[in-house]
Amino acid sequence: MTKIAASILSADFANLQHDCTRLLDEGVDLLHIDVMDGHFVPNISYGAPVLKCLHEALPDVYYDVHLMISDPARYAADFAKAGANLLTFHLEAVRDTAEEVIAAIRATGCQVGISIRPGTPVEAAFPYLGVVDLILVMSVEPGFGGQKFLPATPQRLAALDAERKRRGCTTLLEVDGGINTETGPLCVQAGADWLVAGNSLFRAQDPAAVVRQLHGQA
């Protein structure tokens, strides 16, 4: 079944634990942590201390950490220690040293993901199918929540899914940006295994209904 990751970027940070617990109780599978450095992307979010506090409050949750930063290897150990289960970095940030970053993340004990921006050809991720645990396809330009879903995304996911099947590997496909009850099913049909949703969950009047639809149960 498709897994739903709630992006805490859309949460009320004055009530972060409450907001996350509410969605987990409604059926969300994991929490997605967007880390921005103001350099790789033009925004700054939060760092390892926020993850550490959330992990201490909710220790049994799977933490999917998306590093939208210029030097992911430098901070991998900090986020692993804070409670990350999966660390995803951007291929565009480390084009010449991706293998070293993968090794650095593996050394922390975390699973590894790579992400590609909308303007990066999906073929750039093909060599990492079967090498990393997950490939995250951005369906908006990374840096800010609440953006509109880019319509080319399902086609990009389908190309990765076809190559994944051709290689016979089990690398997961995740999609993030503008995911809601209309765009989510399109991505699942194209091959997405994990859907990252922010505003459509945290600001929903009935988040349980959104979760059911994204899980394909409604």
Work out the pLDDT band at 20, boundaries 50, 70, 90: very high
**pTM of the predicted structure, to 2 decimals:** 0.95
- Between the CA of residue 95 and those of 40, 70, 123, 202, what are the distances in Å? 13, 11, 13, 34
Rounded CA gap, 44 and 81, in Å? 21
Candidate list 34, 64, 133, 193, residue with the active-site label = 34
Please, what is the average pLDDT of the chain? 95
**Residues 107 and 122 sit within 8 Å (Cβ to Cβ):** no
3-state class (DSSP) for residue 117: coil
Residue 176 designated active-site: yes
Q: What tokens does 115 get?
A: 């992400």
pLDDT number for residue 143 = 66
Work out the pLDDT band at 142, boundaries 50, 70, 90: confident
Candidate list 29, 37, 64, 176, residue with the active-site label = 176
Rounded CA gap, 84 and 81, in Å? 7
Report which of residues 96 and 101 the model is more confident about.
101
Residue 193 designated active-site: no
By percentage, how much of the chain surpasses pLDDT 70?
A: 97
Environment class of 16 (CB within 10 Å of its CB; exposed 0-12, middle 13-18, buried 19+): middle
CA-closest candidate to residue 76, choices 39, 101, 41: 101
Average pLDDT of span 139-145: 76
Q: What is the largest CA-CA distance in the chain?
A: 46
Average pLDDT of span 7-19: 96
Q: Report pLDDT digits (tens) over 147-183.
A: 788 899 999 999 999 999 999 999 999 999 999 999 9
**Residues 21 and 202 sit within 8 Å (Cβ to Cβ):** no
